[in-house]
Amino acid sequence: MSARRGHEDATGAYQVPRLIRLAPNLWAACFTLMKIIPARFILRRALADGRLEPGTVVVETTSGTFGLALAMEAVHLDRRLILVSDPVIDERLHRRLTDLGAVVDRVPASAGAVPGGFQAARLDRLAEIRAGLPATFCPEQYSNPDNPRSYALVAELLVESLGQVDRVVGPVGSGGSMSGTVGHLRALLPECRAVVVDTQSSILFGHPDGPRELRGLGMSLMPENLDHRLVDRVHWCSAAAAYAATRELHRRHALFMGPTSGAAYLAARWEAQADPGALTVVMMPDEGYRYQDTVYDDDWLRGRGHLGRAVPAEPTLVDDPTTPVGPWSAYEWGRRSYAEVMAGRAAVPA
């Protein structure tokens, strides 16, 4: 289906981002809710294949916007939905999920202290729920190949609208959006660079696992849908830097987006400035309404010591991806597998 066709329902319309020019060589793909793309694709494919019959309960582990996307799509498909989440899920999102009819099952706060953290505890709880129900379907966003496959729609839109795309910058969590978009783009544009944005204490690109203030990107478990071999460079962005960049994005461009978009904007702006002859697209996954009481609230920022923090001018370029450095760092990944990068690091003399 062309990305430019009309849509018969809200979730169809939400798939299409607004393309907004931020600089001569920098465009933003601004989504109302990017996760609607895999949620809609996965559920509708399951429906067509007979895996989502009437009475089948959709169950998934998520503490963010994928859960919201599933809840919206479940309304259209008339299916029950159970979401296993963190105790730290924000209340605005929780209220919206329950208003859409979803059941939100939160794992206990103590689960965050064990290896694998909340994500491992959520998977265990998900298995318990499925064992107690006669018919369930789990979208499995971390491992289902339909997650990255669904982003062919975004790649198609970028090529139709912009023609040449030299670089895509975006936050990474499940790996679906960046692996899918770049994977499809490279069928036409093999030199297109992929720059991913992670956060400290996320294991995705070598950091040791630990508590993460910045939500919506990073992981404590390695998702199968993340293809490291597509990645040219990785940036790690702290919560403070992401929040400051999010507010700057709003003030400078009137784009009211969430903090993962701010983190991606920080990296993309630097990438575009460093390579003015190349066209860069930055993926911005969701809008700022969920964050009005947090990132867009000066008192909330002040209480966490983040108010008035300057946006860093550039990242610290590092040679070792396993050691967190400063509020913003970057590493040349070089389209290698995770094992290759870690083996290469071990081979370098101390």
pLDDT in tens, 32-47: 999 999 999 999 999 9
Q: What is the pLDDT of residue 112?
A: 66
Residue 5 reports pLDDT greater than 80: no
Read off the pLDDT band of 91 (50, 70, 90): confident
Please tell me the predicted confidence (pLDDT) of residue 314.
96
d(CA 328, CA 235) in angstroms, rounded, equals 7
The predicted structure's pLDDT at residue 347: 54
Q: How far is CA 132 from its chain centroid?
A: 30
Q: How far is CA 129 from the centre of its chain?
A: 26
CB-based burial label for 248 (10 Å; 0-12, 13-18, 19+): middle
Phi, psi of 283 (to 5 degrees): -85, 125
Residue 335 region by backbone torsions, left for phi larger than 0, else alpha for psi between -120 and 50, else beta: left
What backbone phi and psi angles, to 5 degrees, belong to 28? -110, 130
Tell me what pLDDT residue 233 has.
98
> Can you give 62-77 as a three-state secondary structure string?
CCCHHHHHHHHHHHHH
Q: Quick: pLDDT tens for 227-270.
A: 999 999 999 999 999 999 999 999 999 999 999 999 999 999 99
Reported residue count of the chain is 350
Closest CA to 295 of 282, 283, 309, 281: 309
* pTM given for the model: 0.92
Q: How far apart are CA 188 and CA 267, in angstroms?
A: 24
Among candidates 42, 48, 49, 52, which has minimal Cα distance to 15?
42
